[in-house]
């Protein structure tokens, strides 16, 4: 029987990113990571699993000595998507649509 933890030190940094990166910017600046690998790391950091209970805008990532702002993680993810205007508010959803009231059609027919 082999010890699965015996090779933990030889795992790719993506499995223990906090041991290699101390900020979203350091993940973005690592030229050895592919864009999908960067996205995996940043997305995992953004997870609610790491949210600080009384401060949901902060993330406490195991292996890091400090908290990370969720806004910084999301800005890094937007940068991966090619959105360089990180200070703009997020774009709205789709076109607003007014739902018809079922009784409105009946009222029009009666008139």
Cα(35)–Cα(28) distance, integer angstroms? 9
d(CA 72, CA 4): 34
pLDDT digits (tens, 9 = 90+) for 32-62: 999 999 999 999 999 998 899 999 999 998 8
User: Residue 8 carries which DSSP code?
Assistant: G
Domains in the chain: boundaries: 12-88
Determine the angle formed by the axes of helices 70-80 and 35-46, rounding to 10 degrees: 160
Q: Three-state SS for 102?
A: helix
pTM of the model: 0.61
């Amino acid at each position: 029987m082999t010890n699965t933890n015996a090779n933990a030190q030889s795992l790719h940094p993506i499995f223990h990113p906090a041991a290699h990166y101390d900020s979203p910017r350091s993940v973005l600046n690592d030229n050895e990571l592919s864009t999908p690998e960067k996205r995996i790391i940043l997305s995992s950091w953004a997870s609610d699993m790491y949210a600080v209970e009384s401060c949901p805008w902060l993330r406490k990532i195991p292996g890091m000595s400090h908290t990370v702002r969720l806004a910084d993680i999301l800005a890094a993810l937007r940068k991966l998507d090619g959105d360089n205007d990180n200070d703009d508010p997020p774009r709205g959803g789709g076109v607003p649509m007014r739902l018809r009231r079922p009784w409105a059609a009946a009222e029009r027919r009666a008139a």
